Structure 1
Amino acid sequence: MTRPPTPLTDTSVELLDTTLRDGEQAPGVSLSPDEKVEIARALERAGVGVIEAGSACTGAGERKAISRVTDLGLEARVTSFCRGVRNDVDLALKCDVDGVHLVVPASDRHVEGKVGSTREDVLETTADLVGYAADHGLWVEVIGEDGSRADLGYLETLMETALEAGADRTCFADTVGHTGPERTAAAVSRLAELGPVSAHTHDDLGLGVTNALAAVSAGADLVHCTVNGLGERAGNVALEEVAIALEHVYGVETVELSELYDLAQRVARATGVELAPNKAVVGQNAFTHESGIHTDGTLKDDRMYEPYPPETVGRERRLALGKHTGRAGVRAALEEHGVDATDEQVGTIATRVTELGDRGRRVTDADLLTIAEDVTGADRDRTVELLDLNATSGGAVPTASVRLSVAGEERIASGTGSGPVDAAVSAVREAIGSAADADLEAYHVDAVTGGTDAVVTVEVMMARDDRSVTVARSEADITRASVEAMVDALDRLLEDEDERQVVASADD
């Protein structure tokens, strides 16, 4: 791809990921040692240069988690956050980290109001701490907390003191997401004259990426990020957004972009913080097209309405169905499911899809196929069908039993789980056998009506090999709606002849 020359073209930039420390400080987020290890390995696969594994001073559990990460023997530099006290450095050393981030107050608000000190005392303490950490063989970065609201003259003196004491680099921190790109560039350019400088930006004003790019343009060669932009308040700057912006716009390579979506999904699962559909790079809608004009243009030229190919960041393009879907989108979706239809039939199906979308419904794959079967008159032999379901949750362990028709054979199975839905799903998988090894990629529950006779709609997205299908079912009982949706999704995934034979012979 040809890009115009920019001031960043020859810049070498690394990313520092602080998901395991700053990201974990987001409300409600708590990562286990196993989860930190899984995320650290994913960061390593993505080629992240520095991984801040946590804050050793937090407690014994945190130190155990940091040590688990350092024991992985990663190529990335593994570090710990440290406050401006020697004991924090000692605790970090016990975790066998490669380096530390010494956070010292930079603004008068923090110097006087937070730690009750003076500028002169902070300079002295910083020099002492840096020397102590460096003498113990640690890579040292000094972060001037609240640097974006600090007096730039004092910030410059503070960071010069740190470098003279043996620090490897300094960091400009927009701790509360307070500033804009002009102030960021002005501060970073002065610090870059002293030595290597990093940027730590937050997104409180929606300027996280903007300030990170401004810092790089001014001389920063390391950017602090979190996966999915996790962090306190509005979060830190998102790693995936900085990475794609630097490479796509400026030609600056930082990480392996194809690993970004997998990384985002892993962090979302571990933290329980779902990705917003319209989230840049990794959101569900980032490469999804519903508009008839956009769908038609994308089918003619996949770059028509996308800034870069979805495969760049480990994604796939999706053509969604809804009231804006045109004939081209419907035809493409039908072809994806192997459905033959005449031009007239495609037009009729497109009209009915639009009508369904007009009623506020999400038009699922199963909806499309049901409409297509009705319009084309095609018959479909079901491979899997739910005949009966019983679920109980009054005892100590929720249980469920199902009776299914599987490839013409009646099968009965039972299961247990954390709740009646989980137990029923286990029973279905037991009845179908290995053919039910499809991934449940999404599960949504929406209330349709209120009152004692409320109806819920359960929507599931399931994938098997390279196929996926979305099905929604509405029932008064959430367990039955969930099981019917799952069974119908599995039936759609197993509808070709080869899969039927696999199902029929399973567990013989």
Structure 2
Amino acid sequence: MNEKIKLLDTTLRDGEQTAGVVFANEEKVFIAKMLDELGVDQIEAGIPVMGDDEKEVIKKIVKSNLKASIMGWNRAVIKDIQASIDCGVDAVAISISTSDIHITHKLNSTREKVLEQMVQATEFAKSNGLYISVNAEDASRTDEDFLITFFKAAKEAGANRIRFCDTVGTLDPVTTYNKIKLLKETVAIDIEMHTHNDLGMATANAIAGAMAGATYLGATVNGLGERAGNASLEEVILSLKHAMHLDNFDYNIEKMKDLCAYVSKASNREIPPWKAVIGERIFYHESGIHADGAIKNPLTYEIIKPEELGLERKILIGKHSGSAAIKNKLSAVNIHLDDCTAYRLLEKVRNTAISLKRTLTDKELLGLYEETLLEGNLLKEA
């Protein structure tokens, strides 16, 4: 694919809807600036109709002279959109449910009324010169024919794109691809993927949507969001580069580590050390075969350079280590082992790691090396 895939970040809206998360206003402004430095194309800055405090921070973001488009999120209600207009945003998301379960039990409405409400809100936004994303909430559980009708009505009313929402994270990548491909072939309008992670497939579904023709991908920093969260911005970006191999990739990934760390602190949600793309330990190797390969040529087990992400490669010594890793580790302090000594030291390393239930520190490894030498000398004397 050579078509530009654009990123919509909703950390400040859907990310803040994570249960228990609240960003301070200055944190929201700073996050928006960091997202802009990363190269995100559009920032969903919040929900203006929530009140004056929300409006004020969105206005500050708008006045920050960012390169990114600034979007306000709205229900399909005129007063919501007017609140967004008051903030000076250049784009609006107009959201309404499209699945029968939502229409019946959440909205107490009908398909016809949903269409009418969406069209009225879209036409109002269009008359005010705004870029419009019409959001089909719970699109993944929506009747196919009705969803196509909804897409067509939104386009006719003036929508620039449709946000396909897998609101409850129920999709798989194959189903996602087929659904988006059908919609793209049926209605000529830009599609944005908005995927949730309830089954652990949010990023995969976002990328599947892009492969099927979606041109916008929605995501949040660190995968924040309702329940199990949204597609992770950092995972989506690296997937565009290393899985889809886009020719026009222009995101500043060296900015990601600081952004993710800042959002982690602001949201009080720690980043697991094994987290894809940004986990502190994702370039740590212990297993003998893997460590040996990584020492000889990192490409054997790494598709990304650690320094590209501001991380570092480490060879850990523990139960699963091989002699090559031990030799490499000690050579760094000018200790060069012969095969026999390395074999005897490896046995000590494994036994010690099992008894401690962890990898060894450099000092512990040196201690075991000295023990091995001493035992060797005693054997020679005997």
Assess same fold via TM > 0.5: yes
1:115 aligns with 2:107: yes
Q: In structure 2, what residue type is equivalent to 1:123?
A: L
Q: What is the TM-score when the length of structure 2 is the normalising length? A: 0.88
Tell me the C-alpha RMSD between the 2 structures: 2.3
SS in 2 for 1:235: coil
Contact (CA 8 Å) 2:122, 2:154: kept in 1 or not?
yes
Q: Could you tell which deviates more after superposition, 360-369 or 29-38?
A: 360-369
1:281 aligns with 2:273: no
Task: Tell me which residue corresponds to 1:91.
Answer: 83
Task: Tell me which residue corresponds to 1:324.
Answer: 320
Shift of 1:48: 0.9
Contact (CA 8 Å) 2:316, 2:359: kept in 1 or not?
no
Among 25, 28, 51, the residue aligned to 1:36: 28
1:302 aligns with 2:298: yes
Contact (CA 8 Å) 1:156, 1:190: kept in 2 or not?
no
- Percent of residue pairs bearing the same amino acid type: 39
SS in 1 for 2:260: helix
1:72 aligns with 2:64: yes
The verdict on how the C-alpha distance between 1:322 and 1:60 changes in structure 2, with shifts beyond 3 A counting, is farther
SS in 2 for 1:250: coil
The verdict on how the C-alpha distance between 1:370 and 1:37 changes in structure 2, with shifts beyond 3 A counting, is farther
Task: Tell me which residue corresponds to 2:4.
Answer: 12
Contact (CA 8 Å) 2:327, 2:336: kept in 1 or not?
no
The verdict on how the C-alpha distance between 1:99 and 1:168 changes in structure 2, with shifts beyond 3 A counting, is same
Q: Deviations over 1:179-199 (max 9, x none)?
A: 223432333234323311111
Task: Tell me which residue corresponds to 2:309.
Answer: 313
Shift of 1:210: 2.4
Task: Tell me which residue corresponds to 2:217.
Answer: 223
Contact (CA 8 Å) 2:280, 2:311: kept in 1 or not?
no
Shift of 1:156: 1.4
1:246 aligns with 2:240: yes
Q: In structure 2, what residue type is equivalent to 1:255?
A: Y
Q: Could you tell which deviates more after superposition, 180-189 or 368-377?
A: 368-377
Greater strand share, structure number: 1
Q: In structure 2, what residue type is equivalent to 1:361?
A: R
Among 156, 169, 180, the residue aligned to 1:177: 169
Q: Deviations over 1:327-369 (max 9, x none)?
A: 3333444455xx2224157666655543332121343345446
The verdict on how the C-alpha distance between 1:142 and 1:363 changes in structure 2, with shifts beyond 3 A counting, is same
Q: Could you tell which deviates more after superposition, 57-66 or 109-118?
A: 57-66
Q: How does 1:256-267 map to 2 (within 5 A)?
A: 256-267=252-263
Contact (CA 8 Å) 1:257, 1:314: kept in 2 or not?
no
Q: In structure 1, what residue type is equivalent to 2:273?
A: P
Shift of 1:266: 2.1
Contact (CA 8 Å) 1:32, 1:65: kept in 2 or not?
no
1:198 aligns with 2:192: yes
Q: How does 1:133-172 map to 2 (within 5 A)?
A: 133-172=125-164
SS in 2 for 1:330: helix
The verdict on how the C-alpha distance between 1:354 and 1:39 changes in structure 2, with shifts beyond 3 A counting, is farther
Contact (CA 8 Å) 1:147, 1:175: kept in 2 or not?
yes
Q: In structure 2, what residue type is equivalent to 1:210?
A: A
Shift of 1:11: 3.0
Contact (CA 8 Å) 1:198, 1:222: kept in 2 or not?
yes
The verdict on how the C-alpha distance between 1:373 and 1:73 changes in structure 2, with shifts beyond 3 A counting, is farther
Residues in 1 aligned to 2:370 and 2:35: alpha-carbon distance in whole angstroms = 45
Residues in 2 aligned to 1:105 and 1:133: alpha-carbon distance in whole angstroms = 18
Greater relative CO, 1 or 2 (CA 8 Å, sep 6+):
2
1:343 aligns with 2:337: yes
Q: In structure 1, what residue type is equivalent to 2:301?
A: Y
Q: In structure 1, what residue type is equivalent to 2:230?
A: N
Residues in 1 aligned to 2:54 and 2:364: alpha-carbon distance in whole angstroms = 48
The verdict on how the C-alpha distance between 1:43 and 1:366 changes in structure 2, with shifts beyond 3 A counting, is farther
SS in 1 for 2:301: coil
Q: What is the TM-score when the length of structure 1 is the normalising length? A: 0.67
SS in 2 for 1:343: coil
What 5-or-longer segments of structure 1 have no aligned partner?
Answer: 1-8, 378-508
Contact (CA 8 Å) 1:180, 1:207: kept in 2 or not?
yes
Q: In structure 1, what residue type is equivalent to 2:3?
A: T
The verdict on how the C-alpha distance between 1:285 and 1:93 changes in structure 2, with shifts beyond 3 A counting, is same
Task: Tell me which residue corresponds to 1:235.
Answer: 229
Shift of 1:256: 2.5
Q: Deviations over 1:265-304 (max 9, x none)?
A: 2222221212223222112332110112211111111111
Q: In structure 1, what residue type is equivalent to 2:192?
A: S
Residues in 2 aligned to 1:308 and 1:189: alpha-carbon distance in whole angstroms = 30
Greater helix share, structure number: 2
Larger Rg: 1
